[in-house]
Amino acid sequence: MIDTSQNIPVLNIRDLNISYGSNTILRDVTLNVRPNEIFGIIGPANSGKTSFLKAINRMDEFTDGMRTEGLIEFYGYDTSKWRNLYSLRKQMGVVFPLPVGLPLSVYENVAFAPRISGVRNKSELDDIVENCLTRAALWDEVKDRLNSLGSLLSGGQQQRLTIARALSQKPKLLMLDEFSIAVDPVTTMRIEDVLRDLKKELSIILVTNLVQQAERLADRTALFLNGELVEIGQTNELFDGRTKDQRTTDYLEGRFG
């Protein structure tokens, strides 16, 4: 059982390499993610950002040709030695760019994971569904149509439904991969408010191509470029021009990417 009271990083990653066949995607990545922080990851397309998320919760085991080397510790536990893969993934919620809901009602999308975990009491399930939808800023919009298909919601609502579904497993880490790509700016801002509130109870990895989003949300930000971790720094310092690598400055100022 993970002890989150320990004063250790949520994630401790050392010398991580990711490859697909003979093609190396990420090389020698070393970083950590701290409790109750939003850790931003920026960089151009094909920089290895999504592969990085897949390696964290061992989705590489379901990706043909993907291989990882190095150390990934989750609250001090080596994830490569974690025998119950389901219990590991339960603690790491992931939201990918395009919301892919289960072909179920709004209610059952959120209740699905708790049911699988053994929750059978209707009152308890009701509380879980309401709590998760509320934390995802969606409850007021869907409380009168919980039995409608989740796929009938708008794009922004479906995106928040995927967040609610991830929260239903009570994760200690939430990973978002370009979550705002399919939604309008107003909805994006609403989801960003949700993430600021969620930071009080868990850690968040935010992968984004929108540098302004990292600036608004992230406590620290890392730049991935051509398979390399170029730099990590306090977000306000990076955007104030206090970078250690010229490539970071060039990317933040839009000279490439």
Q: What residues contact residue 83 under an 8 Å CB cut-off, 6+ apart?
A: none
Q: Give the 3-state secondary structure of the chain.
A: CCCCCCCCCCEEEEEEEEEECCEEEEEEEEEEECCCCEEEEECCCCCCHHHHHHHHCCHHHHCCCEEEEEEEEECCEEHHHCCCHHHHHHCEEEECCCCCCCCCEHHHHHHHHHHHCCCCCHHHHHHHHHHHHHHCCCHHHHCCCCCCEHHHCCHHHHHHHHHHHHHCCCCCEEEEECHHHHCCHHHHHHHHHHHHHHCCCCEEEEECCCHHHHHHHCCEEEEEECCEEEEEEEHHHHHCCCCCCHHHHHHHCCCCC
What confidence tier does 147 reach under pLDDT thresholds 50, 70, 90?
Answer: very high
Mean pLDDT highest for which of 1-10, 28-37, 158-167? 28-37
Contacts of 21 (CB under 8 A, 6+ apart): 65
Mean pLDDT across 236-244: 96
Task: Give the mean model confidence (pLDDT) for residues 1-20.
Answer: 85
pLDDT in tens, 103-124: 899 999 999 999 988 999 999 9
d(CA 37, CA 144): 34
Domain edges within the chain: 1-91+173-257, 102-170
pLDDT of 1 > 60? The answer is: no
User: Using one digit for the tens of pLDDT, what is the confidence trace for 180-196?
Assistant: 665 678 878 888 898 99
Q: Residue 235: left (phi > 0), alpha (psi -120 to 50), or beta?
A: alpha
Domain 1-91+173-257 matching CATH 3.40.50.300: the answer reads: yes
Strands 173-177 and 92-95: parallel
pLDDT score for 12: 97
What is the distance in angstroms between the CA of the first residue and the CA of the last residue of the chain?
42
- Burial (CB < 10 A; 0-12, 13-18, 19+), residue 144, is exposed
Average pLDDT for residues 169-178, to the nearest whole number?
A: 93
